[in-house]
Amino acid sequence: LFAKPWDFRTSVTDMANLPDIGGIEIAFAGRSNVGKSSLINALTGRNGLARTSRTPGRTQMLNFFSADDAPLAIVDMPGYGYAQAPKDLVDAWTKLVFSYLRGRPTLRRVFLLIDSRHGIKPIDTQAMGLLDKAAVTYQVVLTKSDKIKPPQLERLMEETLVALAKRPAAFPEIVATSSEKGKGLAELRAEILQLVLN
Ligand code: GDP
């Protein structure tokens, strides 16, 4: 699945233009600068596939990636929280995102990226609120795990699991990754493969 040549498919700014895909879809979400582009690039083995969330014009779009014949599309959701207060999230993260979460039957899971150095911030909690409301299963992926020491990571994982236990749509397992060191990528790919096979 991930050995295939992944490519950019389309950018979407309204629900009417969502592409027809022949399989399931997963989406990646998180604060700007969380390491979302790096993770998508590392997973697909294609540097430059996903661009940083500050690339002009691509920030408020849903970006679709696919590979020939793969029964999976990857969706890069707009990064949130860049110079925005949590209360503005719904506006800033756009109505499109919520419509998409509510109205996309092929969407199987959202991977919600959290920076290992920062943990869950208030704006992430806001995002989780939207995901819970949309009733889309989301799984937390810790990014940049190479930036903190193993005992700190261990504690962060425990704290994160406790926070997630209270959330109705949260998946009860998390994955710690480092795009830089290639850590956790096999685990995340296996998780995604399970979704495709089920
Ligand atoms: P995005 O805005 O969420 O798409 O984030 P990017 O993927 O552009 O990454 C933001 C910054 O974090 C960049 O400077 C990356 O080099 C850095 N970064 C991303 N992933 C990792 C990682 O696994 N380890 C480390 N140390 N830095 C990372």
pLDDT tens digits, residue range 12-48?
988 899 999 889 999 999 998 999 999 999 999 998 8
Residue nearest atom 8 in ligand 1 by C-alpha distance = 52
The pLDDT assigned to 112 comes to 98
**Mean confidence (pLDDT) of the chain:** 91
The pLDDT assigned to 187 comes to 98
Which value does ipTM take for this structure?
0.99
The pLDDT assigned to 162 comes to 98
Counting residues of the chain whose pLDDT is more than 90, the rounded percentage is 75
* Structural domains of the chain ordered from first start: 6-15+23-197 (3.40.50.300)
Query: What is the C-alpha separation between 194 and 198, in angstroms, rounded?
Result: 6
Pocket residue to mutate for ligand 1, from 34, 36, 38, most atoms within 8 A of Cβ: 38
The pLDDT assigned to 59 comes to 59
pTM of the model: 0.94
pLDDT at 184 over 70: yes
pLDDT at 85 over 70: no
* 60 Cβ below 6 A of ligand 1: no
pLDDT tens column, 55-68: 554 557 899 999 98
What are the angstrom distances between the C-alpha of 11 and each of 8, 15, 73, 76, 78?
9, 11, 13, 9, 11
**CA 20 to ligand 1 centroid distance, Å:** 30
Give the E-state strand segments of the chain in sequence order.
6-12, 24-30, 62-67, 72-76, 107-115, 138-143, 175-176
